[in-house]
Structure 1
Amino acid sequence: MNEAPHRNHTPGHDEKAGPSRRTVLWTTGAAGAGLGLGGQLTAGGTVAAAPKTGATGPSAAAAAPEARSRTMIGVPFERRSTVRVGIIGLGNRGGSMIDLFLAVPGVRVVALCDPVKDKVAKAAKKVTDAGRPAPAVYTHGDHDFENLCKRADIDFVYAATPWDRHFEMAKTALLNGKHVGVECPLSLRLEQLWELVDLSERTRRHCMQLENCCYGRNELRVLRMAHAGLFGELLHGAGAYIHDLRGLMFDPAYYEGPWRRLWHTRLRGDLYPNHGFGPVANYMDLNRGDRAVRISSVGTPARGLAAYRKEHLPPNDPSWKESYIESDRTISLVQTSKGRVIRLEHDVSTPHPYSRINSLAGTKGLFEDYPERIYIEPDQSNDAWGDFGQYAEWDHWLWKEHPNPPGDHDGMDYMLVFRLMQCMRLGLVPDFDVYDAATWSAPVPLSDLSIKANGAPQEIPDFTRGLWRKARPGMDSHQPEE
């Protein structure tokens, strides 16, 4: 796997298998710069989805979400001794995450799917090398994942494919009675986010955004400190995905096909908000006593990818046919019902050291990451930052139980897989749910609409339909009895 530097988060579902075998891997559903991704609030507070023809804005009328079923808030998994997993997508992300599923006790990898047979064979060998039964394999085209989802011996489907395939894979898994987790974002269209919320409620199966950054050591420590009141009343926070991906996006040996780069020809907004938004949403208990109500976004001109192409690519490279419109840096302000402010940033097209910003501030002090530093009264004074390492006592129980976890991204990947599989084995409520997944992904289409409307605020749907007002547990869990 082509790993990023220490503490960097490589994109959640990269494809790496040598030269491209297809022009675009699993990314046929949203071609064209005119793709409409938005929706708007109706007078009744529901969300009218933008039509799939490409129209956006106030004149784009469509049906509102269906009448709500029973909520999935607080719904536990069914208890089971072994979690049977099917994996769709075995590129950089899926091909490395399978190692962690195999490392967690009480998990069996039952089936694997990818159109590239070599990837499936490599992943299947990992399963048998671990002393487990050989998994079933699905390699017959872009829709063989449907057959994987139909299997009766799978409890959980994990999808690690290019972005615009997440929706159909999650939908197929839910309709076949499977719990499902996808890499970020959950979907890039508001109406699809609503459809997955409705489907999760109707099928009584969880649909989750597998946001590994929520399980980082720093993120979980700050979460516990915030909930214990060390920062006082929370006022504002920030999160980002700032990662120089120019070389990787033009590298045919890294992404199989130009699927990720092509999104820079289609949208101007924040393409990847989840890594920054998820942790801050947890700090502020969004959907658990507060909620995100609106977003306003601005963006710079698109210059970085074209400049990189001019300097590094030959004149006959196919990328010269592409016109980039995605803002090099997007900055969004999210306001919550309690008046708090969250700043989100996205930049993968200009030179910059990796950063997720990851900051939180309240009436007693603040934390800022990259580099990590803290200032809390009365512990710090004289305008001097304090040592965040002195607060290790606030580490989450997951990090105390697993101080040196295996896997990439400083162990946060393992923590995510371990905790999710633990919840499924013990019949616990998951740490986050479909409402969180939809909320964390909503900035993708809404930031695009806001930038195109000169920063005009866009209402963020209440995917919980009013149930956010009740406080409830989230990531700040208690260690369960095995």
Structure 2
Amino acid sequence: MHDENATPTPDESPAADGGLSRRSALRAAGIAGAAGIGLGAVGTGAAQADTTAGAPAGRAEARSGATMVNVPFQARSTVRVGIIGLGNRGGSMIDLFLAIPGVQVVAICDPVKEKIERCAKKVTDAGQPAPGTYAKGDHDFENLCKRADLDFVYVATPWDWHFEMAKTAMLNGKHVGVECPIAMELGQLWELVNLSERTRRHCMQLENCCYGKNEMRVLRMAHAGLFGDLLHGAGAYNHDLRGLMFDPDYYEGPWRRLWHTRLRGDLYPNHGFGPVSNYMDINRGDRVTHISSFGTPALGLAEYRKANMPPGDPSWKETYIESDRTISLVQTAKGRVIRLEHDVSTPHPYSRINSLGGTKGVFEDYPSRIYLEPDHSDDVWHNFGDYAEWDHWLWKEHSNPPGGHGGMDYIMIFRLMQTMQLGLVPDFDVYDAATWTAPVPLSHLSIKAKGEPQEIPDFTRGEWRKKRSGVDSAKPSA
């Protein structure tokens, strides 16, 4: 959750809404980030909101270095971490880094002095040396990334800054993990792929929902063939955020709401797309090839503003174009279909959908239920809890993990730090990051073109044909 004092919902990695948001508010007003996607002076009007792909979608760019597929980390007994952004997300995730043996938080960055002080105290209270602190202006994160005593940089900031911070970390020789989405433009995704290959540093989308207990159980069942040949799946981010987006304290400014004045498509596909991609071995035997997206009118935020915001509030200058609900259909090379949904501006219960179907049955979440042959033949849903034997080894070892979102945050960070300590291949890589985020710009283009399919790049440049492990990796022997 963004709010450390709020009751966690089952999932939100509301991505990176943590510190640095004052700086992001400037960008949200249109100072930066516009040129690469053709936004012009990004701001408050629909007439200004446009986007171009930045790189040809269906054509793989020339590789600037060897592939990062199956490239392991260099083993190290201690992983030295720097954290950029100490708001609700970063300020709570630091607790998980500090809870893992062999992990040291050596540097923290945020322009808000109070957040720096609070998180520095967390580090020393955990028995670690006082971290280096970086709070001097908009770009002090660059100095953090230059440190010679860092192995990994964690980015938990507003979306406007994700690309620049990931790029800076890799150019300074650091592996980097970024909250969702990893970038907002197709050209930026290609640049991150190229930089990862050239610098030989991993750049990862930290998709916590891939490590949810249900998601990991379905993953193991799918790979064991219990669903038969896989045919279709679905994922979503349907979460009523209207009140939070108009709360000046929760997001520390309007940065997230202002994206609704810029793009029409799926702003946050990762939580739904990541788990289903894992089920179907996307980039590991199959790949996504096209996306067709459709969007409803943009009414929800304006109606909420009319009912709840006083005259003269800055939000009255904003014109919302983001579809209240975006529905996308994604095709894979093997002919499978993935449905994605995004809706944060209308009233509805929380759901990531999280569905998978094959020739032997189907699973659906929210609430979780299953129907499989030959176990079932009565045409009614059955209890998913009956399949607990298929829980992932991480959940068997950590049955009651600390942290938010039902423990998936801890499982994700524990596993990432484990792969770095043991010198293993990470569970996902820059190609997954780019693939899971590509619907952000491409769904916008498809909606503008009345649903016309948009080609999804093969960021792996052909490596997707090779079967390899991912989140369903074997338990390490060490």
Give the TM-score category using the shorter length.
over 0.9
In the TM superposition, residue 23 of structure 1 has moved relative to its aligned partner by: 8.0
The whole-number CA distance in structure 2 between the counterparts of 1:138 and 1:16 is 12
Contact 2:19 2:112 in 1 (8 A): no
Aligned residue runs from structure 1 range 73-112, under 5 A:
73-112=69-108
Q: Select the residue among 211, 214, 226 that pairs with 2:210.
A: 214
**2:56 equivalent to 1:41:** yes
- Residue identity in the other structure for 2:373: E
* Secondary structure of 1:85 counterpart: strand
In the TM superposition, residue 221 of structure 1 has moved relative to its aligned partner by: 0.1
In the TM superposition, residue 5 of structure 1 has moved relative to its aligned partner by: 4.5
Summarize the Cα distance change of 1:8–1:201 in structure 2 as closer, same or farther, 3 Å threshold.
Answer: closer
Contact 1:215 1:412 in 2 (8 A): yes
Give the structure-1-normalised TM-score: 0.93
Determine the structure 2 residue equivalent to 1:24.
Answer: 25
Determine the structure 2 residue equivalent to 1:130.
Answer: 126
**2:200 equivalent to 1:204:** yes
Q: Select the residue among 417, 423, 428 that pairs with 2:424.
A: 428
In the TM superposition, residue 440 of structure 1 has moved relative to its aligned partner by: 0.2
Aligned residue runs from structure 1 range 282-431, under 5 A:
282-431=278-427
Contact 1:37 1:188 in 2 (8 A): no
In the TM superposition, residue 40 of structure 1 has moved relative to its aligned partner by: 5.7
The whole-number CA distance in structure 2 between the counterparts of 1:77 and 1:400 is 25
The whole-number CA distance in structure 2 between the counterparts of 1:130 and 1:174 is 28
- CA deviation string 1:235-279 (max 9, x = no partner): 000000000000000001101110000000000000000000000
Contact 1:16 1:254 in 2 (8 A): no
In the TM superposition, residue 4 of structure 1 has moved relative to its aligned partner by: 4.8
The whole-number CA distance in structure 2 between the counterparts of 1:143 and 1:40 is 27
**2:15 equivalent to 1:12:** yes
Determine the structure 1 residue equivalent to 2:141.
Answer: 145
- Residue identity in the other structure for 2:111: P
> 395-404 or 112-121: which moved more?
112-121
The whole-number CA distance in structure 1 between the counterparts of 2:343 and 2:284 is 29
Summarize the Cα distance change of 1:404–1:164 in structure 2 as closer, same or farther, 3 Å threshold.
Answer: same
- Residue identity in the other structure for 1:24: A
Summarize the Cα distance change of 1:21–1:433 in structure 2 as closer, same or farther, 3 Å threshold.
Answer: closer
- CA deviation string 1:61-96 (max 9, x = no partner): xxxx44441000000000000000000000010000
The whole-number CA distance in structure 2 between the counterparts of 1:8 and 1:201 is 31
In the TM superposition, residue 14 of structure 1 has moved relative to its aligned partner by: 2.1
- Residue identity in the other structure for 1:216: G
In the TM superposition, residue 9 of structure 1 has moved relative to its aligned partner by: 1.6
Number of equivalent positions: 461
Contact 1:375 1:384 in 2 (8 A): yes
Give the structure-2-normalised TM-score: 0.94
Q: Which runs of 5+ in 1 are unaligned?
A: 48-64
In the TM superposition, residue 382 of structure 1 has moved relative to its aligned partner by: 1.3
The whole-number CA distance in structure 1 between the counterparts of 2:328 and 2:85 is 31
Percent identity over the alignment?
A: 75
Determine the structure 1 residue equivalent to 2:459.
Answer: 463
Aligned residue runs from structure 1 range 206-285, under 5 A:
206-285=202-281
In the TM superposition, residue 478 of structure 1 has moved relative to its aligned partner by: 1.1
In the TM superposition, residue 481 of structure 1 has moved relative to its aligned partner by: 2.2
The whole-number CA distance in structure 2 between the counterparts of 1:128 and 1:475 is 33
- CA deviation string 1:409-452 (max 9, x = no partner): 00000000000000000000000000000000000000000000
The whole-number CA distance in structure 2 between the counterparts of 1:40 and 1:133 is 45
> 397-406 or 376-385: which moved more?
376-385
RMSD: 1.5
Contact 1:8 1:355 in 2 (8 A): no
The whole-number CA distance in structure 1 between the counterparts of 2:363 and 2:165 is 38
Contact 2:293 2:329 in 1 (8 A): yes
- Residue identity in the other structure for 2:281: D
